[in-house]
């Protein structure tokens, strides 16, 4: 039987540890991390390189198994369900937005989105109206017939966000989503993520090195040396920008 998260939590990380290598060469990337995220929260994770934030992201997303501890995501203990279970979780409950847009260069923006739908096995029926609103919010409704090389960096990231949301994930994991963008496009993408959270209740976990970008979340989690050192609320959420 799968371990369930505490009441209400969509993500619950308990005493999470991740070690790479063995003996004197071992690297302890995570050292007993505990984290709870409620449905509809927007949580920013900040920390320097090597703090463990990317490792935490990869484990929550089912991309890397933990060494010890438990990670319950959308009701599934992904530390116990194996590779096939984690693949199913990524297909049905979790979507990713990365620093690199990872769009297929020979496909149009629309076809990049369709590929994600095909992989997930989820039809757009019943979600079409909301998804059209998301496309309008992203400002790419008129750019769907263009290939990535015909889009700006900001537009490519917006297509990547649309692709991630097309499958209606319970959780959107964003890893440095503005890392390849200039300041104007970075601001636009952050505002879009915040709007998606406000208007659709999308749960978002975002990794960023930018303390300014982190202010768009409800809470900021600080990491250092594989540990969470602080969790603070942004009050009122997002108004610091």
Encode pLDDT of 118-135 as tens digits: 777 766 565 567 788 888
Spatial separation of the C-alpha atoms in residues 6 and 105, rounded to whole Å:
42
| Region class of 86: left (phi > 0), else alpha (psi between -120 and 50), else beta | alpha
Question: Please, which contacts does 129-137 make with residues 24 or more away whose CB atoms are closer than 8 Å?
Answer: 130/200, 131/162, 131/165, 131/166, 134/162, 134/165, 134/196, 134/200, 135/162, 137/192, 137/195, 137/196, 137/199
168 belongs to a structural domain: yes
Total number of domains constituting the chain: 1
151 belongs to a structural domain: yes
Give me the chain's average pLDDT, please: 88
Q: Which residues contact 97 (CB under 8 A, 6 or more apart)?
A: 157, 160, 161, 164, 172, 173, 174, 175, 177
pLDDT confidence tier of residue 240, bands split at 50, 70 and 90: very low
29 belongs to a structural domain: no
pLDDT confidence tier of residue 237, bands split at 50, 70 and 90: very low
CATH number where 229 lies = 3.40.50.300
Encode pLDDT of 144-164 as tens digits: 999 999 999 999 999 999 999
| Per-residue pLDDT at 82 | 83
6 belongs to a structural domain: no
Q: Which residues contact 59 (CB under 8 A, 6 or more apart)?
A: 16, 18, 30, 65, 66, 71, 78
30 belongs to a structural domain: no
26 belongs to a structural domain: no
Residue 98 structural domain: 39-62+86-233
50 belongs to a structural domain: yes
Encode pLDDT of 4-36 as tens digits: 445 589 999 999 999 999 888 899 999 999 999
Encode pLDDT of 82-103 as tens digits: 888 888 888 889 999 998 989 9
10 belongs to a structural domain: no
């Amino acid at each position: 039987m799968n371990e369930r998260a505490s009441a209400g939590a969509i993500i619950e990380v308990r005493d999470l540890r991740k070690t790479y290598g063995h003996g004197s060469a071992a690297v302890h990337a995570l050292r007993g991390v505990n984290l709870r995220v409620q449905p509809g929260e927007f949580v920013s994770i900040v920390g320097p390189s090597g703090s463990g934030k990317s490792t935490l992201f990869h484990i929550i997303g089912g991309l890397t198994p933990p060494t010890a501890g438990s990670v319950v995501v959308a009701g599934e203990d992904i530390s116990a369900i194996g590779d096939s279970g984690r693949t199913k979780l990524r297909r049905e409950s979790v979507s990713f937005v990365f620093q690199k847009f990872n769009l297929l260069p020979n496909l149009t923006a629309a076809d990049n989105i369709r590929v994600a739908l095909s992989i997930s096995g989820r039809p757009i029926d019943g979600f079409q109206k909301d998804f059209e609103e998301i496309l309008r919010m992203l400002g790419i409704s008129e750019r769907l017939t263009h290939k990535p090389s015909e889009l700006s960096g900001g537009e490519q990231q917006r297509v990547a966000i649309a692709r991630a949301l097309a499958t209606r994930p319970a959780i959107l994991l964003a890893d440095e989503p503005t890392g390849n963008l200039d300041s104007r496009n970075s601001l636009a993408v952050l505002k879009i993520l915040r709007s998606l959270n406000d208007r659709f209740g999308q749960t978002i976990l975002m990794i960023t090195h930018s303390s300014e970008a982190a202010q768009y979340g409800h809470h900021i989690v600080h990491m250092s040396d594989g540990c969470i050192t602080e969790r603070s609320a942004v009050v009122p959420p997002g108004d610091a920008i």
